[in-house]
């Protein structure tokens, strides 16, 4: 078994090593990976002629392919080309810089130096970076102008463009301020409310128990919630409509039953046919275990009370009045107590009965307590419901 495990480990190692070679990557058509793996071997001074040959071929293919792509992009009359130009130029530049410290490379088996063609892309990389940042900035300004007309999607597009700009230059012009403005214009605001559509009188603490959640637990980058209305225009209203309060009466079930058990209680002499104590072969008195039946009266009391709340979570577009969602949610508060006592011989009691001994009947919780507990159970379900459907409030 140990040999089998060892062979398996060796096989996996060989296979994984074989797959992570410049030659394997080259055959798969992954030139970039072939270059990276060959340079990795150069760093470890483990390079062989075959690796240098693969590096030479793969480097020539990937570098020429990407440089040709650059020329095509540069010929296009499209201002949005600069991010792609910059990305490709950076890849070419970084690839060449990684290889440069290890040159020249000599192929002993072919008695020659490996040939690597480097393309001058540094200036283009710098220029395209400036152009890309500028283009994203211009696109952001155009989107922001639409956002100021009430186009929330345009505001989010503006934010994305300014964010791209800041990736090129962290403090490009007034990008930070513009991002804040775009975020403000692209954010939707929602207020959460509660209405009682039942005839039940609810305690003053009920609303706080249902809305026992923090806006920060609900907020996303583009959607903000308020539990208490503020002096702002809201895009959505999340209305929690309490539609039913069902409460069971206080219920007490008393039960009485008898438990009995036959138990060992000392010993007794065995009598012979003549009424005398029987003797064994050695002349000793014969005795046997004595059993008696013991009994106990068991009294049990079950207490039960429950309150169930049913509500609907509605999402309403405040601009159109359209109800975008309505989902039912329920929660229950249950009080249950089981008490048990006995009279008689404790030895007659079963293990289950013994476990329940000691519990006593207790006062029932008030209707208000039951309502509050049910409301507290309802709160996380409402929160989950809002979070599950938050996407409809992000448009």
Per-residue pLDDT of the chain (395 residues; tens, 9 = 90+): 545 544 444 444 444 444 589 999 999 999 999 999 999 999 988 778 999 999 999 999 999 999 999 999 999 999 899 999 999 999 999 999 999 999 999 999 999 999 999 999 999 999 999 999 999 999 999 999 999 999 999 999 999 999 999 999 999 999 999 999 999 999 999 999 999 999 989 999 999 999 988 888 899 999 999 998 888 899 999 999 999 999 999 999 999 999 998 888 888 888 888 888 888 788 888 888 888 899 999 999 999 999 999 999 999 999 999 999 999 999 999 999 999 999 999 999 999 889 888 888 999 999 999 999 999 999 999 999 999 999 998 87
User: Tokens in use for 182?
Assistant: 């775009």
Task: Count the Cβ atoms, other than its own, within 10 Å of residue 262.
Answer: 10
Domain that holds residue 166: 128-186
Domain annotation covers residue 79: yes
| Residues 92 and 25 grouped into a single domain | yes
CA–CA separation, 177 and 137 (whole Å): 12
| Residues 263 and 177 grouped into a single domain | no
CA–CA separation, 240 and 315 (whole Å): 9
Please report, for residues 309, 323, 392, the alpha-carbon distance to residue 318 in angstroms, rounded to integers and kept in the order given: 27, 9, 13
Which pLDDT score is estimated for 216?
Answer: 87
In the chain, the N- to C-terminal Cα span, in Å, equals: 61
Based on the number of CB atoms within 10 Å of its own CB, is 190 exposed (0-12), middle (13-18) or buried (19 or more)? buried
Domain boundary among 142, 167, 186: 186
In this structure, what DSSP letter does residue 364 have? P
Domain boundary among 120, 139, 156: 120
Which pLDDT score is estimated for 15?
Answer: 42
Which pLDDT score is estimated for 16?
Answer: 43
Domain annotation covers residue 192: no
Note if the bond before 64 is cis, omega within 30 degrees.
Answer: no
| Residues 138 and 258 grouped into a single domain | no
Residue in 228, 379, 246, 243 with CA at minimum distance from that of residue 306: 246
Q: How many CA atoms lie within 13 A of 31 on its CB side?
A: 14
CA–CA separation, 134 and 41 (whole Å): 40
| Residues 32 and 109 grouped into a single domain | yes
Domain annotation covers residue 167: yes
| Residues 170 and 86 grouped into a single domain | no
Pair 301, 254: CB distance under 8 Å: yes
Which pLDDT score is estimated for 19?
Answer: 56
Pair 89, 67: CB distance under 8 Å: no
Domain annotation covers residue 298: yes
Largest CA distance in the chain: 129
Q: How many CA atoms lie within 13 A of 281 on its CB side?
A: 0
Pair 88, 66: CB distance under 8 Å: yes
Which pLDDT score is estimated for 287?
Answer: 82
| Residues 175 and 48 grouped into a single domain | no
**Element at 287 (helix H, strand E):** strand 287-317
Q: What is residue 326's three-state secondary structure?
A: strand
Domain annotation covers residue 170: yes
Domain annotation covers residue 357: yes
Number of domains in the chain: 3
Which pLDDT score is estimated for 274?
Answer: 82
Q: What are the strands, taking DSSP E only, across 24-142?
A: 106-107, 112-113
| Residues 272 and 387 grouped into a single domain | yes
| Residues 164 and 275 grouped into a single domain | no
| Residues 135 and 102 grouped into a single domain | no
* Apex 36 CA angle, 9 and 70, nearest 5: 145
| Residues 288 and 372 grouped into a single domain | yes
Which pLDDT score is estimated for 1?
Answer: 52
User: Tokens in use for 110?
Assistant: 């072919």
Which pLDDT score is estimated for 380?
Answer: 94
User: Tokens in use for 60?
Assistant: 């020539």
| Residues 54 and 89 grouped into a single domain | yes
Note if the bond before 45 is cis, omega within 30 degrees.
Answer: no
Domain annotation covers residue 9: yes
| Residues 157 and 292 grouped into a single domain | no
Domain annotation covers residue 194: no
Residue in 73, 36, 71, 35 with CA at minimum distance from that of residue 55: 35
């Amino acid at each position: 078994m140990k040999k089998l495990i060892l062979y398996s480990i060796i096989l996996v190692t060989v296979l994984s090593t074989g797959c992570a070679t410049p030659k394997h990557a080259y055959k798969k058509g992954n030139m970039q990976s072939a270059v990276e793996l060959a340079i990795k071997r150069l760093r470890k001074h483990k390079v062989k002629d075959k690796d240098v040959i693969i590096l030479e071929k793969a480097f020539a293919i990937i570098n020429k392919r990407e440089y040709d792509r650059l020329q095509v992009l540069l010929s296009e009359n499209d201002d949005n080309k600069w991010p792609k130009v910059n990305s490709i130029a950076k890849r070419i530049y970084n690839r060449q810089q990684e290889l440069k410290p290890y040159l020249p490379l000599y192929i002993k088996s072919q008695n020659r130096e490996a040939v690597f063609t480097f393309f001058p892309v540094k200036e283009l990389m710098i220029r395209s970076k400036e152009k890309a940042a500028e283009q994203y900035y211009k696109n952001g300004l155009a989107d922001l102008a639409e956002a100021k007309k009430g186009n929330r999607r345009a505001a989010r597009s503006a934010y994305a463009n300014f964010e791209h700009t800041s990736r090129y230059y962290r403090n490009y012009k007034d990008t930070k301020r513009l991002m804040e403005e775009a975020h403000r214009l692209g954010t939707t605001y929602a207020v959460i409310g509660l209405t009682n559509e039942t005839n039940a009188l609810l305690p003053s603490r009920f609303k706080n128990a249902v809305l026992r959640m923090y806006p920060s637990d609900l907020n996303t980058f583009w959607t903000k919630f308020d539990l208490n209305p503020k002096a702002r225009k809201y895009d959505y209203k999340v209305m929690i409509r309490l539609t039913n309060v069902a409460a069971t009466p206080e219920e007490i079930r008393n039960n009485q039953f008898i438990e009995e058990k036959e138990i060992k209680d000392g010993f007794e002499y065995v009598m012979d046919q003549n009424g005398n104590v029987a003797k064994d072969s050695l002349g000793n008195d014969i005795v046997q275990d004595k059993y008696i039946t013991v009994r106990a009266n068991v009294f049990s009391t079950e207490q039960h009370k429950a309150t169930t709340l049913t509500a609907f979570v509605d999402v309403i577009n405040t601009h159109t009045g359209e109800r975008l969602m309505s989902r039912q949610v329920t929660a229950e508060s249950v009080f249950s107590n089981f008490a048990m006592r006995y009279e008689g011989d404790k030895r007659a009691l079963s293990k289950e009965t013994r476990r329940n001994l000691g519990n006593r009947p207790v006062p029932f919780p008030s209707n208000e307590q039951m309502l509050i507990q049910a409301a507290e159970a309802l709160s996380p379900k409402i929160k989950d419901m809002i979070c599950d459907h938050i996407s409809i409030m992000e448009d």
